[in-house]
Amino acid sequence: MPELTISDVIEIDEPVPFVGKHLINGEWISGSETLERVSPSHGLVVSISAKGTASETENAIAAARSAFESDSWSGLSGKQRATTLLKVADLIDANVERIAAQETLESGKPIAQSRGEVGGASDLWRYAASLARTGHGDSHNSLGEDMLGIVVKEPVGVVSIITPWNFPFWILSQKLPFALAAGCTVIVKPSEMTPSSTVMLGELLLEAGLPAGVCNIVLGHGEPVGSLLAAHKEVDMVSFTGSTIVGKLITQACSNTLKKVALELGGKNPQVIFPDADLESAADAVVFGVYFNVGQCCNSSSRIIVHEDIADTFVQRVIELSKQVKFGDPMNPDTQVGAIVTDEHNTKIHEYVQAAIEAGAKLELGGERLPIDGLGNQFYQPTVLSGVTPDMDIAREEVFGPVLSVLTFRTLNQAITMVNDSVFGLSAGVWSENVHTCIEFSRKVEAGTVWTNTWMDGYPELTFGGVKQSGQGREIGRYGYEEFLKVKSILMRIGRSRTPWVEQRA
Ligand code: NAD
């Protein structure tokens, strides 16, 4: 095994499994069936959740529909909605430790990152609260003295929110407070692998006084819960984050009713490194970009495109830093990289690495599972592959693991072509001290977000989303809020000056 930095295993008491129920019309409902989640790092049962059926999903949709029609939420003023969202934000802050610990046990991510994810999410709720009060339409007072035009924005209606396992609390908070700020009612389906933090948030919503039926939660699998939430005629919009393959299924299911669909999907996000860049900072950002959340991150920078003149030395620096990143027990607060979400996924990561080597890539570091004494085998070594060419699967497909592919370039145009030679377009990054290089790159690459001389910074104010097969629609920021609104034009004739269409008989 290469010389890596492995953090100490922390002794923990065997966790009492969290019991997750559906939240339907303000009531907690035990499922007729349940499913268990085993911690990827410790191999212990950490939650037992209701496994949703079609009829439970129907009940949740009916509750959301009836809450929407009753105006118990959409009829409130923005100030009233904001007051509830701000209470939720305060409750999140007061419950970070409990939610984060459960999220780490279910997902395998380091506890420090779970704390950051949950603690940081309250700011999304506060920002959404500000939009509930300040959102507005347009008025047109220049249509002539006999006409006033008003564009009003109304809640889309009943929204299904379907989320993945990699950032369960954060991704829910990128959607739910914005949908609620707009006046929508919702049904949430978290991933079957990480359902508990969503249930805990449901408890906080009730404590904050959200009216019954405004936010419903159905736990369980894509079939039948997720697909029904997408296809149902009483649902007006689906907001989905997950894999591109399931995103396509959801789009098909939505086509029956032509409901609105917003998709946040996969990525194959490149960082391009020029010789004039701050190479020490770039190397650190590359290591952060590929190992954060064990590479199980839509924004993972799983491929780097490095200028030929500096490629060898840059890769050596990335390897040195990779060996210093602390892998291991997610419950240790010092750990930076935890466990892989499932054993099957670990096998898939390894198969990608093997296939890349067979295709001619050079293994510079890692390339094997990482057994941790006392915790088992569901970890993967930090892995660096050089000599990757654009045609290899490892350069084109989302691996979703701690695996970095290194490609090289000579000119800016060549680098831009390589960035855009992908079905994905989520994010991209450029490292150069030359502002012209950074601006030309930012303008020409096909991506929803471009980072220059940084990686994966984000703010509630700045919208997020992908192009091409990375998705459609936007989250957070003002644009994310607008996704949950529909637009209506109202034309008002002033006075009685309308010219008759029918010629009057004398
Ligand atoms: P996934 O697509 O397997 O599952 C996502 C959710 O969809 C889960 O709740 C799942 O139960 C549900 N689902 C499965 N089949 C369904 C169906 N037929 N109909 C409706 N719902 C169904 O994704 P995952 O493995 O949980 O998450 C990883 C993926 O998510 C990666 O591809 C990653 O890039 C993507 N992701 C994207 C973003 C982004 O913002 N662009 C963020 C995080 C993750």
Rounded CA-CA distance 286/223 in Å is 37
Within a domain: residue 209?
Answer: yes
Q: Which residues are catalytic?
A: 264, 298
User: How big is the CA angle at 116 (ends 114 and 120), to the nearest 5 degrees?
Assistant: 125
pLDDT, position 42: 93
Over residues 48-75, mean pLDDT: 97
pLDDT, position 503: 87
Measure Cα distances from 480 to 262, 447, 472 in Å.
10, 17, 11
Q: What type of residue is 371?
A: P
pLDDT, position 498: 83
Same domain, 153 and 287: no
Question: Which ligand 1 atom lies nearest to the CA of residue 221?
Answer: 11
List Cβ neighbours of 385 (8 Å cut-off, separation of 6 or more).
353, 356, 357, 361, 362, 363, 364, 367, 394, 403, 404, 405, 406
Same domain, 233 and 371: no
pLDDT at 56 over 80: yes
% of the chain with per-residue pLDDT over 90: 96
Instruction: Tell me the CATH number at 425.
Output: 3.40.309.10
Model pTM score: 0.97
Ligand 1, from 172, 191, 252: best to mutate by most atoms within 8 Å of Cβ? 191
Q: Is the CB of 164 under 6 A from ligand 1?
A: yes
Over residues 194-198, mean pLDDT: 98
Same domain, 222 and 336: no
pLDDT at 57 over 80: yes
Which residue, judged by its Cα, is nearest atom 31 of ligand 1?
243
Q: Is the CB of 476 under 6 A from ligand 1?
A: no
Q: Is the CB of 241 under 6 A from ligand 1?
A: yes
For 359, the domain range is: 270-452
Within a domain: residue 463?
Answer: no
Which residue, judged by its Cα, is nearest atom 14 of ligand 1?
222
Q: DSSP characters for 183-199?
A: T-EEEEE--TTS-HHHH
Q: Is the CB of 250 under 6 A from ligand 1?
A: yes
Q: For the segment 108-120, what is each residue's pLDDT rounded down to a tens digit?
A: 999 999 999 999 9
Ligand 1, from 187, 298, 342: best to mutate by most atoms within 8 Å of Cβ? 298
Which residue, judged by its Cα, is nearest atom 30 of ligand 1?
242
Which residue, judged by its Cα, is nearest atom 43 of ligand 1?
298
Quick one: the chain helix, strand, coil %, rounded to 5? 40, 25, 40
Q: For the segment 378-404, what is each residue's pLDDT rounded down to a tens digit?
A: 999 999 999 999 999 999 999 999 999
Q: For the segment 233-292, what is each residue's pLDDT rounded down to a tens digit?
A: 999 999 999 999 999 999 999 999 999 999 999 999 999 999 999 999 999 999 999 999
CB 303 within 8 A of CB 268: yes
Same domain, 249 and 283: no
Q: Is the CB of 242 under 6 A from ligand 1?
A: yes
Q: Is the CB of 191 under 6 A from ligand 1?
A: yes
Give the pLDDT band of residue 376 (cuts 50, 70, 90). Answer: confident
Within a domain: residue 496?
Answer: no
% of the chain with per-residue pLDDT over 70: 100
Same domain, 92 and 150: yes
Which residue, judged by its Cα, is nearest atom 13 of ligand 1?
222
Q: Is the CB of 165 under 6 A from ligand 1?
A: yes
Q: For the segment 12-34, what is each residue's pLDDT rounded down to a tens digit?
A: 888 999 999 999 999 999 988 99
Give the pLDDT band of residue 504 (cuts 50, 70, 90). Answer: confident
Same domain, 398 and 355: yes
pLDDT at 499 over 90: no
Question: Which ligand 1 atom lies nearest to the CA of residue 245?
Answer: 2
25: left (phi over 0), alpha (psi -120 to 50) or beta: left
**Among the listed residues 375, 265, 337, the one whose alpha carbon sits nearest the alpha carbon of residue 112:** 337
Give the pLDDT band of residue 146 (cuts 50, 70, 90). Answer: very high
Total domain count, the chain = 2
Q: For the segment 164-190, what is each residue's pLDDT rounded down to a tens digit?
A: 999 999 999 999 999 999 999 999 999
Same domain, 184 and 277: no
Over residues 337-363, mean pLDDT: 98
Give the pLDDT band of residue 434 (cuts 50, 70, 90). Answer: very high
